Amino acid sequence: MFKRCAILCSVFLISLTLALTPALAEKSPEAEAFVMDVANKVIEILSYETAIEKEDAFRNLLNEQANLKRIAAFTLGKYRRQLTPSELQEFQTLFETMITKVYANRLGSYDDQQIVVLGSEKKKKDYLVETELRFTDGSDPIAIVWRLREEKDGRITLFDLRVLGIWMALEQRETFLSILKNNNEDFNVLLDNLRQQIAAGSSEISD
């Protein structure tokens, strides 16, 4: 499951190194501007020399452009209400670190892929931006849908991505709930799982 998540995370990073073309469907200029801004920042991160610099920069980018606390809470499902404030804080901290390392240690392995924006629309508080990842070697393109969320202060933040037909945050939620269900709802088992993923990510960065 971790390997599958890592593959999806890699595709997510590739999707950020993009070149936009005019949308073919109903447009949401605000959402497309958000995607452009994130893409430009990721392209800048790719120019950094060391893995540590990339990781720090990517952590800052996620904190700026994604509501990690909301995403972390979403992945816990019904179990979120069973946690104490300190347990939730520990989970959110580990979740942020895990996501940062899983993504950042793959920042140096991307080449001339291109994202084309096909269309975008607003649905209540969410924006959906449909894109297509195209490869220079002629491989079949991959459809990627960005789900963005409008915050109370009017800001737009990244909430989820659908890659290869799978919503990444939703799949992470299903993975976490399965871990808890199969371990008598022992929250420490889930925390240990996150620590293992962080350790694996740190090993990849140091290699």
Q: For residues 107 and 42, give the distance between their C-alpha atoms in angstroms, rounded to a whole number.
A: 9
Indicate the SS3 state at residue 118.
strand
Q: What is the mean pLDDT of residues 12-16?
A: 48
Instruction: Examine the pLDDT at 16 and tell me if it is beyond 50.
Output: no
| Amino acid letter for position 147 | R
Q: What are phi and psi of 204, to 5 degrees?
A: -65, -40
23 burial level (CB within 10 Å; 0-12, 13-18, 19+): buried
Kindly report the pTM of this predicted structure: 0.76
| Percent of the chain scoring above 70 in pLDDT | 78
Count the residues in the chain: 207
Residue 207 DSSP one-character state: -
Residue 179 near residue 193 (C-beta atoms within 8 A): yes
Outline where 25-149 has alpha helix (H). Answer: 29-46, 51-65, 68-76, 85-104
Domain count, the chain: 1
Range of the domain at 199: 2-206
CATH number at residue 201: 3.10.450.710
Q: For residues 51 and 160, give the distance between their C-alpha atoms in angstroms, rounded to a whole number.
A: 25
Summarize pLDDT for 33-61 with one digit per residue, the tens. 887 777 777 767 877 878 788 888 988 99
Q: Would you state the pLDDT for residue 22?
A: 44
Residue 23 near residue 32 (C-beta atoms within 8 A): yes
> C-alpha dihedral over 122, 124, 125, 128, to 10 degrees?
-30
Mean per-residue pLDDT over the chain, rounded: 80
Instruction: Examine the pLDDT at 110 and tell me if it is beyond 70.
Output: no
Q: Which of 168, 130, 206, 173 is nearest to 4 (CA)?
A: 168
